[in-house]
A = this chain, B = another copy of it.
Amino acid sequence: MPKLWNETIDAHRHAVREAILDATAQLVEAGGLRSVTMSQVAERTGIGRATLYKYFSDVDAVLLAWHERQITGHLQHLAEVRDRAGTAGERLEAVLRSYAAIAGQRHGGELATYLHQGEHITHAERHLTGIVEDLITEGAQAGDLRADIPPAELAQYCLHALTAAAGLTSKAAVTRLVDVTLDGLRPVP
């Protein structure tokens, strides 16, 4: 087959895969992780079940792919927030506020625990920890953040403290959680 034809097939397969994950996102949004079935995904995507099974072997595989795409999107967003103008302290605050908002959306339950054990999560956590650690290092050098504790440890402190957002029910409470967490990073008088 000519190269162009292969590229067209690849583009088509990619578009179908994205459409499947878009449909999955809508179903998760509407009914939660546990509610998603292969039949619903096929119907919402506008493809047959047989076609869906050519892309994904079961509903767990669909959810894992959807979750990987979510995590990648979150990381890209956080990297963009980091790259905005401002001091390291301001950019750190912006990154932590965005992260807390994401952590506040986290879906609970066994299936969420399963998804969060994937390798993509380990990789994403390492990447995010690096972003936060670098900003803390820069902020400590500028005198805006405490310099008496290793930045790597402060990064772990922040990201663990902010996982408390998953149990909070209002945006105001998430804002307060980030305030308290940031107060732990201030220079010691």
Contact = CB atoms under 8 A, between A and B. Distances in A.
A55 interface: no
What copy number does this chain have within its complex?
A: 2
A33 interface: no
Contacts of A154: 180
Contacts of A36: none
B179 A181 contact: no
A110 interface: yes
A159 B110 CA distance: 21
Contacts of A159: 164
Interface string A123-162: 0000000000000000000000010011001101101111
8 residue pairs, one from A and one from B, having the closest CB atoms: A184-B184, A161-B161, A160-B164, A156-B164, A180-B184, A183-B184, A149-B176, A160-B163
